[in-house]
Structure 1
Amino acid sequence: MSSSFKVGDAVRWNSEAGEIHGKVVKVHTRDTEFMGRHRPASKDAPQYEVKSDKTGHLAMHHGDALKHA
């Protein structure tokens, strides 16, 4: 079961570069395009758009990939 996050929550996630810390900037509850790729999302399985505190880069993850920081 994935955790629920809201805009502004501090989160962390793993990437090829190691653990990244950032904030949730948008919650997607409908299918969307992100960086040229189709990202399925729903109210029951949202996608979270997150911004790295260190680099400012954006990423998108399901709740299972994120942890509260």
Structure 2
Amino acid sequence: MTSEFRKGDKVRWNSHGGQGEGEVLRKITSDTEAGGRTVRASEQEPQYLVRSDKSGGEAVHKPDALEKM
């Protein structure tokens, strides 16, 4: 079972440069453009738009890639 996250949750994830930390901006449950790419998502397989505390950049991650802080 994957975790559920809400807007404002503080999370961390593994990135190319180590570990990233930031905040969940929104849950994505349909195909859309976000974080600079096309996101394939559904109610059964959501993804999350997050903002990095370090860079301020936005990215999209699957729930199993995120960990609540």
Give me the TM-score of the superposition, normalised by structure 1: 0.91
Gaps of 5+ in 1: none
Which whole-Å deviations, capped at 9, do the CAs of 1:29-66 have from their partners, x for residues lacking one?
Answer: 1111231x321111121110000111101110010100
CA RMSD of aligned residues (A): 0.9
Give the total of aligned pairs: 68
Give me the TM-score of the superposition, normalised by structure 2: 0.91
| Residue equivalent to 1:53 | 53
Cα displacement (A) at 1:25? 0.5
Residues in 1 aligned to 2:33 and 2:55: alpha-carbon distance in whole angstroms = 22
Residues in 2 aligned to 1:54 and 1:39: alpha-carbon distance in whole angstroms = 23
Gaps of 5+ in 2: none
Structure 1 ranges of 4+ moved more than 3 A: none
Letter in 1 for 2:12: R
Cα displacement (A) at 1:9? 0.3
